Amino acid sequence: MTHKQDSIFKSPNSSSYSSPSPSLPFKSKKTHDDSPLPLRIADILTFNGDFLDELLMMEEELGCRVWERSTHCYPPNRTVARWFSGLRRKRVKESKRDKLGGDRIEQVKCSKNGLNSQDSSNSASQSAHSGHHNKEASLNLGVGCCLLYLIAASKNELDKMFKMRKEMEKLLENVREELQKKDGRSKPCETNDVCAYSTTDVVDSVDFDNQLSPQVFTPSSVLPGSSTITVCDQSLRCETPKQGECSEGRDKLEAELEVELQRLQLNFDTVENTAKHPQKKGRRVTNEKTATSKSQIVSAGEVVAFVFENQAAGSEEHCGVPPHELERRLHELLESRQQEQIRELEAALKCVKHKLREKEMEVSWWKDSARLISRHLPESSELSSHHHAKLLKSAMYCTRSNANKGRMNCNGNCKFPFCFLVISIISTRYTNNLAMAEGSSGSDFTLDSIRKALIRQEDTIVFSLIERAKFPMNSALYNQILNLVPGFSGPLVDFIAKETEAVQAKAGRYVNPEENPFFPDNLPPSLVPKHNYSQVLHPGAASVSVNKAIWNMYLNQLLPLFIDAGDDGNYASTAASDLSCLQALSRRIHYGKFVAEIKFRDAPHDYEPLIRAKDTDALMKLLTDERVEEMVKKRVEKKAIIFGQDVSLSNNVETGNFKVDPSVVVRLYDEWVIPLTKLVEVKYLLRRLD
C-alpha cells in the first residue's frame, strides 16, 4: 500500500523523518502536490535566521492550507519558529543600534542535541562583552525551557497523529476490502477468468486459488448431454494464476461450452417453435428426451438456455447474472410469452366468432331470399316438382358441360347458376309449407300474426272451459285404480285421451307443428295425404313439450276451481270435453315455440349469447312483455264474462251468473297459461342453436 499523504501523517520511525536533510533546498521540502512539509524543531534550530524568514514567508504565501484544514491554529514548532524569527530581528536591530561588533550578527546555531548548551554558552560569551548579553542569556535559558516543553508537547501531538494515521490506514484498508468484495459480487468475471468449467478439466488444469461457490445451479445448470458442468458463483473471482498451464484446459472448456451453447440454442429454438406450432409438441418432447436425461422439462431447458444465452449475449464483460435475477427474467419471459399466446388465441376466437356470425347472416340471407322468391313463384307443389326436375336437369347439364368445356355454356337453358336452383327448391318447399292454422300463415310469420292467433285461441279455451263446466266432476274418470276399461290399466280419462289421440294421429293431427300429443309414445303415423304445414320452427327445438305439466295442472288444479262436485256418469262426454280443454291449452301454450322463433329471428344477437350461456333467467327476462300479459289477462276475463253469459232475447244480462267464473279464467292465464307459454319459449330457445 502506498501512502500518498505520508507527508502529513508521517511516522517518526519512517526513514524520511529519522534522517532529515537540513541541506535540502527549501523546494524539496514541499511535496509534489505543493503541500508544505511540516516544519520540524531540528529545522528551526539548524537553519539560519534568513532561511527561517524565507521559510515562514513562503508558508504564509502558501496559506498553510494543511494546518488550517487539520487544526485551527499553528502547531508549536511553527510558533517557536516565528518566535525565533522575531527574536532574531530584534537582536539585529539592537546590534545595529549599539554598533557593537560591526555588522556581525551572531547567528543562533542549534544542534539536535546541544541546543541549550550551545545557545547558553554563546550567550554567556556575549554577556561577557555586554550587559545586554546577560539578559539575553537568561532569556535564552527560558526560551530553552520553553523549547523543551514544546518539544515534549510536539512529541505528544505527533504520537496522537501517528495513532490517528494508523486508524485511518485501518479504515482505508477496510473500505478498500469492502469495495473489492462489492466489485467482485457485482462485476462479472474478467476476461481471463473462467466462469464455467468442467470439473474434470478443473482437476487437471485449472488451479483456483479462490474458493468455488457452493451455490451450484443444479439441476437447471447441469447441461444436458455433458459431464457435470458447474457455473461458479459470480461473487467470487476465479483466477488462473498460471496462464500457460491452464490455457490448454481453458481451450477445452471454451470448446465444450460452445458445443453446449449450440445445443442449448437448438433446444431453445425447438421450444420456441413448439410454442408457435403446438402440433409438433410430441416430436419435441421425444427430442428432449433423447437429448438430455437431466433436463426433462421445458422450463429447465429454458433456464439453461436462458442462462447461457444471457452469458453469450453479455459478452465477456457480462458473463454472469445473479441467479435470482435470471430466475426473475425467466419468469418475465415465460409470462410475456404466455400472455402473447393468450392474446393470439383470443384474437383467433374473435375471428372465428366473427366468421360464424357472418355464416349465420349468410344462412339467414339465403332463407330470406328463398322466402322472397317463394312468394313470387305461382306454381303449385306439383308444378314445383316439375320445375325442380327441369331445373335439376339444367343444372346437371350445366355441370356436365362445364366439366367438359371448362366454362358455363348451357345453350340458353342455363340462365341461373346452380345456387339459384337450390334457392328455387328451398323456396318452393317454403311455398308448400306456408299453411299455418289459426290465422298465421307462413307468408305472414310475424309477432303480430302470432299474437292474433293467440287471441283467437283465447276464445277456444274459454268456450272449452264453458263446455266442460256443463258436467260435474265425475271423479271416476280420473281414478287410478278403478280400471273401468278391461285390459287397460289407468284412469278412464287416460284411455279416452290415448285412443282419441291415436285416431287423430292417423288423421294427421300431429303432423301439424301446432299440435302436441299428450301420449306421444306408440302413436300411429298419419294415414291421410300429408299436408305441408309451414316449417318455421327450428328442427332441433320443434319437439319441445310441456304437456305433462299441462295435464297435471288441468286435472289437479284447474278442474276443482270451476267444476261442481258430482258424478252424472257421463264419463265419455266429460272426458272428450276434458280433452278439448287440454288440447286447446296445449296448443296455446306450445305456441310459445312460434313466439320464441320469431323473437329470436328479430334479435338473434341479443338471444345468442344468452342461449350459449344457457342463462334461462336472462332469456326469460328478455322475452317477457308484461304489458302484453296484462292485456291478455284483461281480455280473457272479458271473454269469460261475455261468453259465459246466457244470451236471451230480452237483452237482460244476468250479472254474476257466468258459466265459468271469469276470475278462474284470469287465474288460469296468470298462474299457468302465460308462465307455461314462457317456459316453452325458453326451452325452445335453449335448443334453438342445436
Ligand X SMILES: C=C(O[C@@H]1C=C(C(=O)O)C=C[C@H]1O)C(=O)O
Does 629 bind ligand X (CB under 6 A)? Our answer is: yes
Does 678 bind ligand X (CB under 6 A)? Our answer is: yes
Binder of ligand X out of 227, 543, 552, 624 (CB under 6 A)? 624
Residue 388: strand, helix, or coil:
helix
Does 541 bind ligand X (CB under 6 A)? Our answer is: no
CA distance 191 to 195: 9
> Residue 30's beta-bridge partner residues?
36
Beta carbon of residue 630, minimum distance to ligand X (angstroms, whole number):
9
Letters for 401-440 (x = contact with ligand X by CB under 6 A, - = none) are ----------------------------------------
Within 13 Å of residue 154, how many CA atoms lie on the same side as its CB?
19
Q: How far is CA 284 from CA 21, 269, 308, 486, in A?
A: 84, 11, 21, 75
Contact 123, 137 (CB under 8 A): yes
Beta carbon of residue 590, minimum distance to ligand X (angstroms, whole number):
11
Q: Which stretch binds ligand X (CB under 6 A): 52-60, 364-372, 399-407, 624-632?
A: 624-632
Does 462 bind ligand X (CB under 6 A)? Our answer is: no
Task: CB nearer to ligand X: give 374 or 677.
Answer: 677
Task: CB nearer to ligand X: give 360 or 629.
Answer: 629
Task: CB nearer to ligand X: give 477 or 682.
Answer: 682
**CB neighbours of residue 457 within 10 Å:** 20
CA distance 116 to 137: 10
Letters for 551-570 (x = contact with ligand X by CB under 6 A, - = none) are --------------------
Binder of ligand X out of 229, 536, 595, 686 (CB under 6 A)? 595
CA distance 288 to 567: 87
Q: How far is CA 391 from CA 105, 424, 438, in A?
A: 149, 9, 35
Quick one: which of 72, 3, 74, 13 has its CA closest to 38?
74
Does 341 bind ligand X (CB under 6 A)? Our answer is: no
Beta carbon of residue 687, minimum distance to ligand X (angstroms, whole number):
18
Binder of ligand X out of 451, 538, 590, 683 (CB under 6 A)? 451
Per-state percent for the chain, helix, strand, coil, to nearest 5:
65, 0, 35
Beta carbon of residue 679, minimum distance to ligand X (angstroms, whole number):
10
Beta carbon of residue 632, minimum distance to ligand X (angstroms, whole number):
4
CA distance 517 to 528: 17
DSSP label of 316: G
Beta carbon of residue 592, minimum distance to ligand X (angstroms, whole number):
6
Binder of ligand X out of 157, 625, 661, 670 (CB under 6 A)? 625
Quick one: which of 193, 334, 329 has its CA closest to 253?
193
Beta carbon of residue 550, minimum distance to ligand X (angstroms, whole number):
13
- Applying CB under 6 A, the site for ligand X has a residue count of 11
Q: Which stretch binds ligand X (CB under 6 A): 180-188, 436-444, 561-569, 628-636?
A: 628-636
C-alpha of 122 from chain center: 99
Q: Which stretch binds ligand X (CB under 6 A): 125-133, 273-281, 421-429, 626-634?
A: 626-634
Beta carbon of residue 685, minimum distance to ligand X (angstroms, whole number):
12
Within 13 Å of residue 563, how many CA atoms lie on the same side as its CB?
26
Does 636 bind ligand X (CB under 6 A)? Our answer is: no
> Residue 36's beta-bridge partner residues?
30
Beta carbon of residue 549, minimum distance to ligand X (angstroms, whole number):
15
> Residue 229's beta-bridge partner residues?
198
**CB neighbours of residue 142 within 10 Å:** 10
CA distance 681 to 690: 15
Backbone angles phi, psi at 197, to 5 degrees: -150, 160
Task: CB nearer to ligand X: give 537 or 674.
Answer: 674
CA distance 274 to 178: 47
Residue list 637-676, contact with ligand X (CB under 6 A):
674
Does 628 bind ligand X (CB under 6 A)? Our answer is: yes
Task: CB nearer to ligand X: give 200 or 624.
Answer: 624
Q: What is the dihedral of CA 270, 274, 280, 282, to 10 degrees?
A: 80
From the number of C-beta atoms within 10 Å of its C-beta (0-12, 13-18, 19+), residue 613 rates as exposed
Q: Which stretch binds ligand X (CB under 6 A): 32-40, 116-124, 144-152, 623-631?
A: 623-631
Binder of ligand X out of 677, 683, 684, 686 (CB under 6 A)? 677
Tell whether the torsion through CA atoms of 497, 499, 502 and 506 is positive or negative.
negative
CA distance 78 to 466: 138
Does 293 bind ligand X (CB under 6 A)? Our answer is: no
Beta carbon of residue 664, minimum distance to ligand X (angstroms, whole number):
17
Does 632 bind ligand X (CB under 6 A)? Our answer is: yes
Beta carbon of residue 469, minimum distance to ligand X (angstroms, whole number):
23
CA distance 212 to 209: 9
Beta carbon of residue 281, minimum distance to ligand X (angstroms, whole number):
51
Task: CB nearer to ligand X: give 100 or 542.
Answer: 542
Beta carbon of residue 456, minimum distance to ligand X (angstroms, whole number):
13
Contact 306, 329 (CB under 8 A): yes
Q: Which stretch binds ligand X (CB under 6 A): 217-225, 522-530, 622-630, 653-661?
A: 622-630
Task: CB nearer to ligand X: give 81 or 546.
Answer: 546
Give the residue nearest to ligand X (CB). Answer: 677
Q: Which residue bears the cell 473471482?
A: 237
Task: CB nearer to ligand X: give 152 or 631.
Answer: 631
Residue list 154-213, contact with ligand X (CB under 6 A):
none
C-alpha of 130 from chain center: 107
Residue list 481-540, contact with ligand X (CB under 6 A):
none
Amino acid at the residue 603: A
Letters for 356-395 (x = contact with ligand X by CB under 6 A, - = none) are ----------------------------------------
Contact 611, 688 (CB under 8 A): yes
The residues, ordered by sequence, that sit 6+ positions from 368 with a Cβ below 8 Å of its Cβ are none
Beta carbon of residue 384, minimum distance to ligand X (angstroms, whole number):
33
Task: CB nearer to ligand X: give 59 or 458.
Answer: 458
Residue 291: its H or E element: helix 281-291
Beta carbon of residue 608, minimum distance to ligand X (angstroms, whole number):
19
Quick one: which of 258, 260, 187 has its CA closest to 221?
260
Beta carbon of residue 601, minimum distance to ligand X (angstroms, whole number):
14
Q: Which residue bears the cell 266432476?
A: 473
Binding region for ligand X (CB under 6 A)? 451, 595, 623-625, 628-629, 632, 674, 677-678
